[in-house]
Amino acid sequence: MMRQDRLVVTGTDTDIGKTVFSAALADAMGALYWKPVQAGIEDGGDSQRIGELSFLSSDQILPERYRLKTPCSPDLAAEIDGISIDYDHLNPPNINGRMIIEGAGGALVPLTKDKVYADLFARWNFPVIIVASTRLGTINHSLLTIEALRNRNVTIHGIAFIGDELPHSEDAICRIGDVNHLGRLPYLTNLTRDNLRDAFRKNFEIDRFISKEEIS
Closest by CA to 14, choosing from 41, 46, 44, 52, is 46
Q: What's the burial of 91, exposed, middle or buried (CB within 10 Å: 0-12/13-18/19+)?
A: exposed
Catalytic residue among 35, 69, 113, 212: 35
Question: Looking at the DSSP assignment, which residues form a beta bridge with residue 32?
Answer: 99
Tell me if 85 sits within 8 A of 97, measured CB to CB. no
Grouping H, G, I as helix, E, B as strand and the rest as coil, residue 84 is: coil
Question: Could you confirm whether 35 is annotated as catalytic?
Answer: yes
What is the rounded CA–CA span in Å between residue 68 and residue 79?
10
CA–CA separation, 65 and 50 (whole Å): 16
Reduced to 3 states (helix: H, G, I; strand: E, B; else coil), residue 187 is coil
Catalytic residues: 35
